[in-house]
Amino acid sequence: MKITSLKFIAILFMGLVFKNSATAQFEFNGQLVQRVEYRHGYGKLIPDTVDPSAFISQRLRFQFTYNTKYVKLFASIQDVRTWGSTSQLNATDNLLSMHEGWAEIPIDTMWSVKIGRQELVYDNSRFLGNVDWSMQARSHDFALLKFSKNDHKLHIGGGYNQDAETIYGGDYYKTANQYKTAQMLWYNYKHNDLELSILFWNNGKQDTTTGHRAVRYSQTIGLPTIKYSFMKNNLVSAFAYYQTVKDVNNRDLSCYDISIQGAQTFDINAEKISTFKVTLGVEMLSGTNTNNTANTNNSYNPMYGTNHMYNGYMDYFYVSGRFENSVGLNDLYLKFRYDMNKKWFAQTDLHYFLTNANVYNANDVLSQQLGAELDLTGGYVFNENISLQAGYSQLFASSTIKYLESSSASKTQNWAYLMLIVRPKSDKKFIGIYN
């Protein structure tokens, strides 16, 4: 019988797995996410003269874990596509990629080393997140030294990026928001009702405007998590970041991101685990006046965070580089969430947006009001593997945001989606929701 190379590899792989089954554990997992979207002003104001868009996007992932007492190996292979982007008679495409591929090596019971391509998901994902809402998501080529004991966790790590193996030199301008080199230190303390995190991130990006292509370094110092719960159903949380030194264009950098919110949960029905939660909060991201002529940058950059979860689900602010190096944002929000039981939830978010810095039209200062946004979200868990999520959002745009976008915007700016989530062996039943 003729055995193809693919079958041979599969047989060999399974043989190794079964051979080592006494001393190792092999686990296979995966996920499928399919999302239908209607965009009429998502991410950018849409004029009356432009048609809305509608499409279906998809992410399929296969995840492999091989675990022994000496090492844990993990690989995540994904295919990301839009329905119809590939011909039905397609022979091959470039849509399959390695999302994660890492090894974690224990040193002792407290210390370990994790190295390879991996997601960096910390705290509330405001500064470091996996951007799970985006089908491709985000992962880093990184090395981490990890410590964990009782209430304390410490991670120290870094990454260094090049386009390819080179004989000499090596420039790196992969994207507008990606580092050539980065180093981090993260500490977390959690005890009873109190949780606190500290982050230091050194970000080196290559300047494309100078002849010698210098690497410019900025530092972000933060308290990503400050949480205190009291009286069972009450939670006060906050975070704060400060960025300093130089931006990639060699301007002096001084900017901040500060947020505080309070949440109270009301028990409706203990048997059904039915609750109603109210959250009130504010986030302030510093910005630079539009008439700024000094060699300074006061515009905060969330860098590598999961920005979709913040500042409205229509993603006008900081998602995919939008609103970076701008007048900043003050976001006042009020959220209501009703969990009927373990299967159903419905949520309403209200945002009121203002600029953090001044917007000038010639010598006139425009209103700081950017507008308001209404986000409606709901979800249903069919079983431990499958869930359904849907949402509708509408932005009520002000004249100031229209001026900033140089847009003759349509009166109606809205967006809707329906998403099927298949995630076996995962407790994350919904995507992109922060409450």
pLDDT tens per residue, range 277-298: 999 999 999 999 999 888 999 9
pLDDT tens per residue, range 86-145: 999 988 888 999 999 999 999 999 999 999 999 999 999 999 999 999 999 999 999 999
Q: What is the CA radius of gyration of the chain?
A: 24
The CATH number of the structural domain formed by 26-87+97-422 is 2.40.160.100
User: What average pLDDT does the segment 24-31 reach?
Assistant: 92
Q: What is the pLDDT of residue 94?
A: 87
Task: Indicate the residue type of 252.
Answer: D
pLDDT tens per residue, range 212-263: 678 899 999 999 999 999 888 999 999 999 999 999 888 999 999 999 999 9
In the chain, how long is the greatest CA-to-CA distance? 83
Q: What is the pLDDT of residue 231?
A: 84
Burial readout 220-259 (b: 16 or more C-beta within 10 A, e: otherwise): bebbbbbbebeeeeebebbbebbbeebbbeebebebbbbb
Task: Map out the domains of the chain as residue ranges.
Answer: 26-87+97-422
- Higher per-residue pLDDT: 66 or 22: 66
Tokens (6 digits) for 111:
């210390």
**Contact indicator for 350, 406 with CB cutoff of 8 Å:** no
User: What average pLDDT does the segment 42-46 reach?
Assistant: 96
Q: What is the pLDDT of residue 5?
A: 46
Q: What is the pLDDT of residue 238?
A: 98
Q: What is the pLDDT of residue 1?
A: 43
* % of the chain residues with pLDDT over 90: 78
pLDDT of residue 195 exceeding 90, the answer is: yes
Nearest CA to 78 out of 111, 44, 29, 10 is that of 29
Q: What is the pLDDT of residue 6?
A: 44
